[in-house]
Amino acid sequence: MEFSPFASAFDHPKEECGVVGVYTPGGEASVQAYFGLFALQHRGQESAGIASSDGVNIKVHAQMGLVTQVFREQDFYPLSGERAIGHTRYSTTGSSESCNAQPLLVDGVHGTVALANNGNIINALQLKSQLQRDWGCTFTATTDTEVIAYLLANASGQSWEDRVFHCMRQLEGAYSMVALTEDTLVAARDPLGIRPLCLGKMGDGWAVASESCALDHLGAEYLREVEPGEVIIIDGNGLRSGRGARDTDRRALCVFELIYFARPDSNLDGQLVHLVRQEMGAQLAREHPVDADMVIGIPDSSTAAAVGYAKESGIPFSEGLVKNRYVGRTFIEPDQRSRDLGVRQKFNPLTDVISGRRLVVVDDSIVRGTTTPHVVRLLRRAGAKEVHLRVCAPPIMHPCYMGVDMASRQELIAANKTVPEIQNITGADSLGYLSVDGLMKVVGEGGGGFCNACFTGEYPVPVQLELTKLILEESGASPVIS
């Protein structure tokens, strides 16, 4: 097996997406949506967009780039209105192209609908073919979000509640969506709650967002998570909710939200993410102790786990790597020197702190194994006497089909190498992964169940194992129902 040399300087699961929806009576919702997206920037850096409604018309501004690159002050003048939805994207279905920047705007028998989604619809190809055949829908994007939008805009039902329920009964996979009509804001979460979504109150208005940290930035009061299978409707009659597709009490929140994706100041499944990550580090210390002088984390996502490892083990914690937070997503050339420089662009070692020390280096995950050897090499060049890698996620052995770009099974190092072989590849003195049982013991203290299919291969819904993120492009204009 060969691992692709065209790897980013971060060998982690790629971000998902972030969604936000805002209703502000008498105010400009698009500005609030902007601040919500700014708080969710960590969930995707490919594109950003906002759709707003003034009660008559829906306007959209969406482009490639970071939130601060996409929006300027003058961009908000056309985006007037009391209702708005926003999206920040990392592509999980469909390529990284401007046509896939969300929210997407479509016309159907019920009028115009703008929609943004975080997740992955695994039967999108079949639904696209159905929409082309039955409604003559013309697709301009290559993402499953456009499929959902057309499905909703043409769904049967006398009310938007009925139409959303009809839509949800046909969708298979993971989704946390926000949609906008001329006079209604809609939010819905898949029946297993795989992707996160929460609800907040701000004055006379309401807000929904992928994470509670976005509500904090809006000054909104966090009320609760949107329940799996729940639909929230906000219009001139206020807020109301119902269950659109919930025939089981089973829950399957993506466990990687707690390991890596969510911001540490967010609450998920009734738990503060920062504290959960500390406990993951503590459990890792119990499972894989080692005699060392110092514990460091690979910033920033592993810092809390490193602190937890240090507290449990009694080994002092220190910063050992400084992260350059102003370096964007970096794809580097396929030669040894430039790969090392790619890591250098992200991190710089505190040589005087780590020189001569035996280090425990805590990371949140190893996906392809392309970056970790360069981090180990960087620490050794800075004088580290020993480097003991500790990973607060179990070995990733299976791809994700639920809204995370996790790489193919052929690219996953743990699917093709043993732990001793991976240790040898990284150049570490020892390597220890958190066990699946240990991870579930930590996160299981919350209120529900989790999807851990990337570790176990036990997917919460049946999936096509050959499914790829470009399936709607590869299928051509008129896919055939299988």
Which amino acid is present at 447? Answer: G
Strand partners, 173: 121
Which residues are designated catalytic?
Answer: 17
The segments of the chain whose pLDDT lies below 50 read 1-10, 92-95, 329-337, 339, 466-471, 475, 477-482
State the pLDDT at residue 472: 53
> What's this model's pTM, rounded to 2 decimal places?
0.88
Instruction: Report all structural domains of the chain as residue ranges with CATH numbers, in order of start.
Output: 17-252 (3.60.20.10), 272-447 (3.40.50.2020)
Runs of H (alpha helix) within 144-263 = 144-153, 160-170, 212-218, 256
State the pLDDT at residue 292: 98
At residue 314, φ and ψ (nearest 5 deg) are 80, 5
State the pLDDT at residue 446: 56
Taking the C-alpha atoms of residue 21 and residue 30, their distance in angstroms, rounded to an integer, is 9
Taking the C-alpha atoms of residue 103 and residue 75, their distance in angstroms, rounded to an integer, is 15
Q: Give the count of alpha carbons within 13 A of 44, CB side only.
A: 27
- Residue 413 has which token pair? 């190092």
State the pLDDT at residue 403: 72
DSSP state string for 217-230: HHTPEEEEEPPTTE
Query: What is the SS3 string spanning 93-126?
Result: CCCCCHHHCCCEEEEECCEEEEEEEEEEECCHHH
Taking the C-alpha atoms of residue 132 and residue 135, their distance in angstroms, rounded to an integer, is 6
Q: What tens digit of pLDDT does each residue of 262-311 get?
A: 999 999 988 999 999 999 999 999 999 999 999 999 998 899 999 999 99
Taking the C-alpha atoms of residue 469 and residue 407, their distance in angstroms, rounded to an integer, is 10
Burial class (CB in 10 A: 0-12, 13-18, 19+), 88: buried
Taking the C-alpha atoms of residue 56 and residue 23, their distance in angstroms, rounded to an integer, is 15
Taking the C-alpha atoms of residue 451 and residue 252, their distance in angstroms, rounded to an integer, is 5
- Residue 69 has which token pair? 């690159």
**Omega of the bond leading into 103 within 30 degrees of 0 (cis):** yes
State the pLDDT at residue 356: 98
Q: What tens digit of pLDDT does each residue of 48-100 get?
A: 999 999 999 999 999 999 999 999 999 999 999 999 999 998 754 444 568 88
State the pLDDT at residue 439: 97
Q: How far apart are the first and last CA of the chain?
A: 32
